[in-house]
Amino acid sequence: MKLLAKTYFSDIYELFYPKICGACNGMLLKGEMHLCFTCLNNLPFTKFENIKENPAQKLFEGRIPIEFATSYLYFSKSELTQNILHNIKYRYRKQLATFVGQQLGASILQKHQEHQFDSIIPVPLHPKKTALRGYNQSELIAEGISVVLNVPINTKTIRRIKNTETQTQKNKTERWENIKDAFELIDEKAIYNKHILLVDDVLTSGATLEACASKLKINDNIKISIATLAIAF
């Protein structure tokens, strides 16, 4: 009886609030999940995982030692990637975040086999921002990656202690000044002699990821790799 009621109300809900594609906002057809097949085929893939010295990797050269870095999609305003990120961050599309995280995980599965990541650490949000949004989108993306790579997520080792201003309108120097003291390492033992895959939603100047990675890279025994859903230049 409960199952029938649940199915009934689910059908009624989808009648008035149909499942829509997280990229084009069109109605999903039977067999489609979170993204329609057309958008899945037309996403602006970077293919960075197949390029040894890709733009994401080069962004951190001379800043912090990185074993491997990649971004799954190119970001461009008014296009599919922007819509996906907007739906994840501002429209509570949590399952969409995990779904695209799985796609990102699948793209770097071979690199995991090569590098053997020990844990996945999503870049943390400040508690006030997490409470306001209700979740950390980077953690949801990391959950999708974790399912594919079968690597555990670690959210207890580093925390955000500075509620920073938005980075959007800042130049590279201002971004670094805004973020450089925003993180605190709280459990050194958890990362000892580990290879960490650090995950965020968007890579722009690299300041946030550098600030976070620099707190984790406390000695040469710790390796850092980076994966983001999108990259914006």
Same domain, 166 and 116: yes
CA angle (121 as vertex; 210, 50 as ends), nearest 5: 75
Same domain, 33 and 69: no
Give pLDDT tens digits for 143-194.
999 999 999 999 999 999 988 656 565 666 666 667 878 899 999 999 999 9
**DSSP codes, 108-165:** THHHHHHH---EEEEPPPPHHHHHHHSS-HHHHHHHHHHHHHT--B--SSEEE-S-PP
Return d(Cα 204, Cα 140) in angstroms, integer: 20
Same domain, 108 and 133: yes
Give pLDDT tens digits for 117-147.
999 999 999 999 889 889 999 999 999 999 9
Same domain, 89 and 132: yes
Same domain, 27 and 119: no
Q: Name the pTM for this structure.
A: 0.88
Domain extent, residue 156, equals 44-231
